[in-house]
A and B are shown apart, each in its own frame.
Chain A
Amino acid sequence: MAERSFDEPAAEQLVNIDRRRVDDSIVVSVAGEIDTLTTPRLRQAVGEAIDEAAGGSVIVDLTSVTFLGSPGLAALVEAVGQAQRRGGPLRVVVDRSRPVLRPIELTGLDDVLALYETVEEALHR
């Protein structure tokens, strides 16, 4: 492991992102904290999922996210535009978890993002 100048967490320790195909959809499951450090990984994973879905739906599951800051919100908004250009919907799964829902609602993004409470619901709508 590379030497670090202080005891800093690596991006991969703070967030874990998995991608899987379910029929014509790609489900991106995110667990952990989405902030300035980890947002580039979210952006990359969702971008790859949009490419892989090739017009199918992309579902971003945030139910295991414990922190969501403005860089992550910006990445989600950008991803919606990116998915639209590819002709597929981008759906975001959030349950009642306050750390995720709170910043989305405070910034009015609940009107911009297509929100679902479960992955099942997002897959079968």
Chain B
Amino acid sequence: MHAAPPTTLRLSLPALPASESLVRDRVRRWLRGLHWPAGQLGDVLLATSEAVSNSIEHAYRSRVPGLVEVEGWLRAVANGYRRVELTVRDYGSWRPVPVYEENRRRGIPLMRACMDEVSIEGTDHGTEIKLRSRPVPPAVVTP
């Protein structure tokens, strides 16, 4: 008898470059626990990593690093299909996405290509990126 895998994820890390791989590790473990298909798992990791990278590169550029928070939820879709929703949040002052920058020029299209839906909301108090994955089939758990 195994405990049911967690359906939510909550992380809070310093908005520093080293945090990006820590977030990937935790999200990877979470999705593996949920028996996420490998290809879709890779896409969620890529999109989440890009969102965290965005927080790290821009939100705290000229101040002491703050926090980047990642929350994830498992959502049921029709016919046993499932998806995950993740929110990546920082508390830096928002600035327009600098389209001339090489990284961001590709980071946001990458997030959009990997997810069903991406929304980016910037306020004076921070930036929140919402990622909604593609639906995946019900988990097939082999005994």
Contacts and interface: CB of A to CB of B under 8 A. Distances in A.
Say whether A associates with B: yes
Contact of B22 (A9, A67, A74): A9
Interface stretch (B75-83, B89-97, B99-107, B124-132): B99-107
Size class of B's contact patch?
20 to 34
A36 B14 contact: no
What secondary structure prevails in chain B residues at the interface with A? helix
Contacts of A10: 18
Contact of A8 (B19, B42, B45): B19
Interface of B: 13-14, 16-22, 24, 38-39, 42-43, 45-46, 49-50, 53, 56-57, 102-107, 109-110, 113-114
Interface of A: 5-6, 8-11, 14, 33, 35-37, 67, 69-71, 73-74, 77-78, 98-99, 102-103, 106-107
10 contacts: A11-B17, A37-B18, A69-B53, A69-B107, A70-B110, A71-B53, A71-B103, A74-B105, A98-B42, A103-B46
